[in-house]
Amino acid sequence: MQVKDMMCRHVVSITPEESAALAARLLTRHNLGLLPVCAQDGALLGVVTDRDIVTRCVAAREDPSRVPVGDIMTRELETLSPGERCEEALLRMSRHQVRRLPVTEGGRVVGMLSLGDLVRSRRYEAEAARALGDISENVVRRR
């Protein structure tokens, strides 16, 4: 099965000029774990998570309403293409210790794929559980 068959096509994004506070509201409102940061032309520039907001803004005693997302976003990204196999997506999630990956085509976000998407298919349930185990194990080791 390909990524395009499993990905979520409805993507909520934010521009780098918008505030960390708005990013936090969007993450909460849409129950998201990751928000793509895109240029006005739709090009993917980075991603922001609730963890980015907390560690790079709140913990640094910055005002989230005044800090642009572009200042706290993660720029080094791993992405998928719609035609990639879901097995490859699981391997990359495990290798890069992430639960979600943007799906891009021509540098623009066309979807998001999460471990949860793969688990819900039941076809990749065991593989997704192993990937999550790998991710969780490395988080525990870092503490």
Dihedral, CA of residue 4, residue 5, residue 9 and residue 11, to nearest 10: -70
> Is the pLDDT assigned to residue 6 strictly greater than 80?
yes
Between CA 64 and CA 51, with CA 76 as vertex, the angle to 5 degrees is 35
Over residues 67-83, the pLDDT tens digits come to: 999 999 999 999 999 99
Report the percent of the chain where pLDDT is more than 90. 70
Q: What is the pLDDT of residue 10?
A: 94
The residues near 120 (Cβ < 8 Å, ≥ 6 apart) are none
> Is it the case that residue 140 has pLDDT exceeding 50?
no
SS (H, E, C) 45-113: EEEECHHHHHHHHHCCCCCCCCCEHHHHCECCCCCECCCCEHHHHHHHHHHHCCCEEEEEECCEEEEEE
Closest by CA to 68, choosing from 34, 20, 12, is: 20
2-16, 34-48, 125-139: segment of lowest average pLDDT: 125-139
Q: What is the mean pLDDT of residues 53-62?
A: 95
Classify the C-alpha dihedral 17-51-27-75 as positive or negative.
positive
What would the pLDDT profile of 17-27 be if each residue is shown by its tens digit? 999 999 999 99
Place of tokens 């780098």: 16
